[in-house]
A = this chain, B = another copy of it.
Amino acid sequence: MMLLGRGLDARDNQTRQMQDAVSNVEKHFGELCQIFAGYVRKTARLRDKADLLVNEIYAYAATETPNLKVGLKNFADEFSRLQDYRQAEVDRLEAKVVEPLKCYGTIVKLKRDDLRATLTAKSREAKQLSQLEKTRQRNPSDLHVIAENELQRATMDATRTTRHLEETIDNFEKQKIRDIKNIFSEFITIEMLFHGKALEIYTAAYQNIQNIDENEDLEISRRMLRKDEEEDEEEDEDDEEDDEEDEFDATKEVR
């Protein structure tokens, strides 16, 4: 009686502990999955904004003087290239972090079934063992040898099942740690790849901005303004107007 009660409580506790462990993993992997998915979504939103920025820089560059135009266009080219890497980051995080975490729900379910089956087998064998024990106690003489043999076989079965249960738990723990290490390593590697590319690209982009020759552009914008005046003059040769009173440009008269 004492032995049986003790065994039952221990098993109950073990079962509860294992089920708690599996539920805990299920819960936290589920939450990690959701938050990582949110992180990926926000990264994609950041890329969207960066794309808008690229387009606006192109649009503005098109209206500017040559050096500024080229500098901004080159910057936008590089910045756009970085967004391709950000897209790759998003795709990789989706495939290597979010998806495996999502799949974990199924893995945990299978593990739980496996555990349950092993526990059922163990309980069935334990019942058999206890019945044999009782039989032996009730018939200590004639059935002794048969019961002893059966008891021995039942004990061996129970030992095998116990070992299988321990292996099942072990495998679950092993796979869990391996998966966590794998998922977090992938996360870090993917992020590092992006940050490394970002550093490389921004280094080039920085030069594009620094190389904008402001003096040359000022010279050009001055020339453009004057050229415009001269063209205007040429046009006016054929197309004179008579508005002499109101507003008047002195520049021409002075030269």
Binding site for B on A (CB under 8 A): 1-14, 17-18, 24, 28, 31-32, 35-36, 38-39, 42-43, 45-46, 48-50, 52-53, 56-57, 59-60, 63, 65, 68, 71-72, 75, 122-123, 125-127, 129-130, 133, 155, 158-159, 161-162, 166, 169-170, 173-174, 177-178, 180-181, 184-185, 188-189, 191-192, 195-196, 198-199, 202-203, 205-206, 209-210, 212, 214, 217-218, 221-222, 225, 228-229, 232-233, 235-237, 240-254
Contacts and interface: CB of A to CB of B under 8 A. Distances in A.
Contacts of A8: 241, 243-244, 246-249
A173 B221 CA distance: 8
A151 B154 CA distance: 127
Contact of A251 (B24, B39, B162, B212): B162
B32 A57 contact: yes
B32 A39 contact: no
Nearest to A217: B177
For the residues of A in contact with B, the DSSP-based class is: helix
9 contacts: A6-B232, A6-B233, A6-B240, A7-B248, A8-B249, A14-B225, A14-B228, A32-B56, A126-B248
